[in-house]
Amino acid sequence: MAPGRCPRPARAPLGRPPAPRAAHRAARRHHHHRATTVTHHHHDHHHHHAPPPPPTVHPRPDLHIPPDRGGDKRRRRRMPRTARPASPAPEEFMCNCSLVGSLNVTQCNQTTGQCTCHQGYTGLHCETCEEEFYRDQPQGHCLPCNCSSQGAVSSLCSSSGKCQCKVGVQGVKCDQCQDGYYGLHSNGCVPCQCNNRSDSCHAITGACLNCQGDSEGVHCEECKATFYRNATAPYSCVRCPCSEVTSTGTCHIKSGQLEPECNQCAEGYTGRNCNKCDHGYYNSDSICVKCECHGHVDGVRYPQICKPESGECIECLHNTAGFHCEQCREGFTRDLDGNNCTEEEVTPEVPTTWRPTTLASNATLPPPLPTTVPNSTFSPTTVQTIFSIGSSENSTSALADVSWTQFNIIILTVIIIVVVLLMGFVGAVYTYREYQNRKLNAPFWTIELKEDNISFSSYHDSIPNADVSGLLEDDGNEVAPNGQLTLTTPIHNYKA
């Protein structure tokens, strides 16, 4: 190291206290004073008898000037530089800058010791965080708070980075609305407007979520499709009295009314609540069924077409009859299309020969009648024949109508007869079996033959008063008391 130059401060380990500025300045003054003293002492030693010296000229450190001997004024010769003892090294200056917060650990202001800091760091050694910054753990970096300008009270945050939020705002950075609030702005968040039917809404639009009480809408201000708003309780929704079978299920309340009315009834239903059958329909097990009159009822005169309680057609037209106007009246028959009933046309049979009649002498025979005379007058016999034919046809149709009923009666009668026969057969079988059982259970007798009588005893107690006369022949025998039979006939009549 050349004399007169300050040594370059060495890197000091982090955490070692820097050298005091006063000691550094004292070391520099001491080094300069020592160099000046050595130079003056050298000149005084060689020129103490010389005249006053010329103006002071600072010697060059790399030249050596020998003393003037005998007034030799020859030009001094440059002598080689001689080694000089080195002065002691001054104490090094230590910056001690933060490894995280400073740009360079070894560079700092030599006078103040101030280190150059990164953004967000401050302090002499860049060891602390600036305002609006917080220290991240465990790395120890200073990070910006980044508090929301709308939701945070200020731009400052806690040591953990949590900002102070306004009313209705939440989040670490105060950038979200709390549940029940929406619309983040400079004053915070606004409470949800849900008419007390929901506690939450969309954080941006404010649309209510999960509306309660059968309500719907952006602010839960409307009732659902099958509900209506009660006039006595405007904030409650009541189910419509409309069946989804007989109507669309929706209803409304007209101005000035208290009861709802169904919006649209299904086909065949009518009424405020769609609970009645419309014209042309009848009630069948609580269901409105269309009348089946085949177009033979005057709908203008009878708009109901059929009876609402039974479905029977009212006043059948077009010569029809029946429950559903499905038959033709007596004397009428259906046409080829099967739609209308027309009057039956009877073609009379005119005889081809006529019996001669006795006429007066001046009478003349009438001309022969044509085969078909539409406007002729028939004899009573012919008229009777015509009516008999018509009546026979009507009777045939009547028989056709009644035949089904008679058939059912016949079938029912046959079934009853079969059941009676089966019951008689079962009774006969039962009686026969009882007879066989009694025959098998007949008592057993022991007969003892004596001279003039027969004694017997029973080994079966099922018939205590049995008639024993049947065990003997009917040849004049009499039953004696005490179970003895007296023989009234000769002994030769006894059969062993």
Domain map (residue ranges) of the chain: 93-144, 225-277, 279-344
- For residue 383, is pLDDT > 90? no
* CATH number for region 279-344: 2.10.25.10
Q: Do domains 93-144 and 279-344 have the same CATH topology?
A: yes
Tokens representing 42 are: 């050298």
Strand blocks (E) in 96-225: 121-122, 128-129, 133-135, 142-144, 152-157, 163-165, 169-170, 176-177, 181-185, 188-191, 200-201, 208-209, 215-216, 222-223
Contacts of 11 (CB under 8 A, 6+ apart): 105, 106
In CATH, what class is 93-144? mainly beta
Q: Say which residue the tokens 């008898």 belong to.
A: 49
Distance of CA 455 to CAs 14, 320, 355, 358, 495, Å?
Answer: 153, 95, 104, 109, 15
Distance, CA of 117 to CA of 95 (rounded, Å): 13
How much is the pTM?
0.40
Percent of the chain with pLDDT over 70: 57
Which is higher by pLDDT, 450 or 19? 450
- 251-284 per-position pLDDT tens digit: 988 888 888 999 999 999 999 999 999 999 999 9
Q: Which of 189, 130, 138 is nearest to 156 (CA)?
A: 130
Distance, CA of 127 to CA of 113 (rounded, Å): 13
State residue 294's pLDDT score: 86
Q: Specify the amino acid at residue 241.
A: P
- 178-233 per-position pLDDT tens digit: 999 999 999 999 999 998 899 999 999 999 999 999 999 999 999 998 999 887 77
Tokens representing 293 are: 């009159």
- 288-309 per-position pLDDT tens digit: 999 999 888 988 998 999 999 9
